[in-house]
Amino acid sequence: MGMNKQSETVRGYVLKNLENGIFRPGARLPGSRKIADLLGVSRPVVQSALDTLVNEGLLVSVSRSGLYVDEAWTSRRIRACVRLYTRREFLPWLEMFESEMASVAPELHISTLCDEGTFEIVTTAVAQTRFREYVDLAPLLKACFPDLSPFYAEQLRPFMQGERLTALPFLFSPRIIACNRRMLEEKRAVRSRIRRGAWTTLPGSSQNCRRVFPRNGFFRGTPAPICG
């Protein structure tokens, strides 16, 4: 494990415990030796990562005592923080989102407690109301996707302020529809009937899947584990 990855492991350990309430405001953190033994990294790596969190205002160093959680840590701007607009139990897609992000951007911290974040996932109404607070994403989007299809361009329209694009749609509806690849691989006949991106075929594809899979395993509208 490289030095940077080890440091991110320590950082993630602290942030996760802040988020889930194990490290409460004002509480003393375990010593660097204990954290090093727990995570299987060296003490200098732990100390360096903790010093970074002190510099960010999340932790407070008390001479001859140790490190403590800052009382106002949720008001700090955490590096690479994704702020969510509501509690975890109300976001059935969050587990899948965290899993995907962990594989491509492990340094991201996904928070429901922080007052603000480098990135924010908010409701459409909030994004439209607070548009002046957000940067213009239009140049970045044009550089990455110069030829937007009419379908996707239409989804961006509610977030345009003149020529400025102040938000990107994360979900196109209050509910997310996803497919379980392993389920489809086990039933190849069903996979052949589902066309990527063809929204008009969704009702028929749903019926096909429901003939093969248990109904409660095909659609998920609660935080219950997905079938398969």
The tens digit of pLDDT for each residue in 139-170 reads: 998 888 888 776 577 888 899 999 999 998 88
Give the residue numbers spanning the domain of 157. Answer: 131-175
Closest CA to 134 of 160, 111, 152: 160
Domain for residue 190, yes or no?
Answer: yes
Which of 96-105, 112-121, 149-158, 215-224 is the least confident region? 215-224
Closest CA to 213 of 221, 205, 202: 205
> 26 and 60 in one domain?
yes
> 189 and 171 in one domain?
no
Domain for residue 139, yes or no?
Answer: yes
Q: Output the six-digit token pair for 112.
A: 């429901």
Domain for residue 157, yes or no?
Answer: yes
Q: For residue 149, what pLDDT is reported?
A: 75
Tally of domains within the chain: 3
Radius of gyration for the alpha carbons in the chain, expressed in angstroms and rounded: 22
CA distance from start to end of the chain = 32
Average pLDDT, the chain: 81
Given 36, 52, 75, the domain boundary residue is: 75
pTM beyond cutoff 0.75: no
Q: For residue 145, what pLDDT is reported?
A: 82
CA 113, 117, 119, 125 torsion: positive or negative? positive
> 210 and 170 in one domain?
no
> 158 and 211 in one domain?
no
Residue 227's pLDDT band, with cuts at 50, 70 and 90, is very low
> 167 and 189 in one domain?
no
> 29 and 59 in one domain?
yes
> 23 and 71 in one domain?
yes
Domain for residue 196, yes or no?
Answer: yes
Give the model confidence (pLDDT) of 18-68 as tens digits. 999 999 999 999 999 999 999 999 999 999 999 999 999 999 999 989 999
Residue type, 23: F
Residues near 206 by beta carbon (within 8 Å), at least 6 away in sequence: 218
What average pLDDT does the segment 80-98 reach? 87
Give the model confidence (pLDDT) of 173-205 as tens digits. 444 455 566 666 665 544 444 445 454 555 555
Task: Give me the half-sphere count of Cα atoms (radius 13 Å) on the Cβ side of residue 175.
Answer: 7
For residues 196 and 5, what is the distance between their CA atoms, to the nearest angstrom?
35
Q: For residue 223, what pLDDT is reported?
A: 43
* Cα→Cα distances 181→133, 156, 187, 199, 208, Å: 38, 28, 10, 18, 15
Closest CA to 162 of 138, 146, 184: 138
Domain for residue 95, yes or no?
Answer: no
> 62 and 9 in one domain?
yes
Give the model confidence (pLDDT) of 112-145 as tens digits. 999 989 899 998 899 999 999 999 999 998 888 8
Q: For residue 105, what pLDDT is reported?
A: 87
Domain for residue 223, yes or no?
Answer: no
